[in-house]
């Protein structure tokens, strides 16, 4: 698999945390680590902005998406709010993660904890073409729930 090089810098120059990395050879997301100096308690139904200690220079034509970690979501009810959160190619500030706790208990974020995933994806920019009408489709203007909730049985 061909790799794209992305510049990264540490916003916390004293950090000894490893840079984000893929957990396995075929992982889609890099693990983002909490770069906190002291444990952060996220109360039940609360949220917190957790620093990662890194900033990145995303190449033109890509975006980085901050996504929840499935293990934190199912085991603790903790997920990345606004997920996937988009980091634009022109942003150069520290990558931070909004964690939300919908679990039954307070959740403690500790230094070096895997808190989210970072996935890179291509971006397509569009130009509007104003029209008097849109082409017809089978769904038409059917909105939320218009295609039903059950799959077809065989």
- Within a domain: 12: no
Residues 96 and 72: their CA atoms lie apart, in Å, by 17
CATH number of the domain where residue 41 is located? 2.70.40.10
Beta bridge mates, 10:
54
Phi, psi at 39, each rounded to 5°: -55, 145
Q: What is the chain's mean pLDDT, rounded?
A: 94
Mean pLDDT of 7-29: 95
Cβ neighbours around 68 below 10 Å, total:
22
Alpha-carbon distance of 98 to 79, in angstroms, equals: 8
Q: Give the global pTM.
A: 0.89
What pLDDT sits at residue 2? 85
Domain range spanning residue 63?
24-122
Q: What is the DSSP letter of 125?
A: -
- Asked if 54 and 122 count as a contact pair (C-beta separation under 8 A), the reply is no
Number of folded domains in the chain? 1
Is residue 137 one of the residues assigned to a domain? no
């Amino acid at each position: 698999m061909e790799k794209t090089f992305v510049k990264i810098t540490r916003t916390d120059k004293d950090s000894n945390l490893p840079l984000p990395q893929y957990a396995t050879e075929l992982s889609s997301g890099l693990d983002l680590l909490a770069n906190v100096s002291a444990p952060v308690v996220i109360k039940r139904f609360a949220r917190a902005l957790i620093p990662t200690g890194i900033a990145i220079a995303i190449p033109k034509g890509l975006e980085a998406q901050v996504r929840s970690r499935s293990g934190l979501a199912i085991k603790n009810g903790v997920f990345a709010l606004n997920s996937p959160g988009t980091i634009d190619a022109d942003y150069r500030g520290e990558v931070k993660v909004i964690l939300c706790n919908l679990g039954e208990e307070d959740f403690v974020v500790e230094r070096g904890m895997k808190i989210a995933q970072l996935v890179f994806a291509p971006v397509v920019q569009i130009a509007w073409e104003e029209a008097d009408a849109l082409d017809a489709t089978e769904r038409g203007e059917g909105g939320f729930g218009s295609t039903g909730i059950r799959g077809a049985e065989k």
